[in-house]
Amino acid sequence: MPAPPGFEEFVTFRSERLLRAAYQLTHDLLLAEDLLQTALARAWRVWSRLSGEADPEPYVRRIMFNTYASWWRRRWTHEWPTGVLPERGEASVAAVQAERDRLWRALGRLTRRQRAVVVLRYYEDMTEAQVAEVLGCSVGSVKAHASRALATLRLDESLRPEGATT
* pLDDT per residue as tens digits for the range 95-147: 888 888 888 889 889 888 898 899 889 888 889 999 999 889 999 999 999 99
How long is the chain? Answer: 166
Given this model, what pLDDT does residue 162 score?
Answer: 65
Given this model, what pLDDT does residue 27 score?
Answer: 81
The percentage of residues in the chain with a pLDDT greater than 70, rounded to a whole number, is 84
pLDDT at residue 74 tops 70: no
Cα separation of 127 and 135, whole Å?
12
Given this model, what pLDDT does residue 157 score?
Answer: 87
Inter-CA distances, 145 with 34, 50, 110, 140, Å = 52, 61, 10, 9
CATH architecture group of domain 94-159: Orthogonal Bundle (1.10)
* Nearest one of 42, 47, 36 to 9, comparing CA atoms: 47
In one-letter notation, the amino acid at residue 25 is L
Among 34-43, 65-74, 129-138, 141-150, the minimum mean pLDDT is found in 65-74
pLDDT at residue 33 tops 90: yes
Given this model, what pLDDT does residue 34 score?
Answer: 92
In the chain, which residues fall in CATH 1.10.10.10?
Answer: 94-159
pLDDT at residue 163 tops 60: no
Does domain 7-74 fall into CATH 1.10.1740? yes
Query: What average pLDDT score do residues 84-95 get?
Result: 74
Given this model, what pLDDT does residue 1 score?
Answer: 55
In the chain, which residues fall in CATH 1.10.1740?
Answer: 7-74
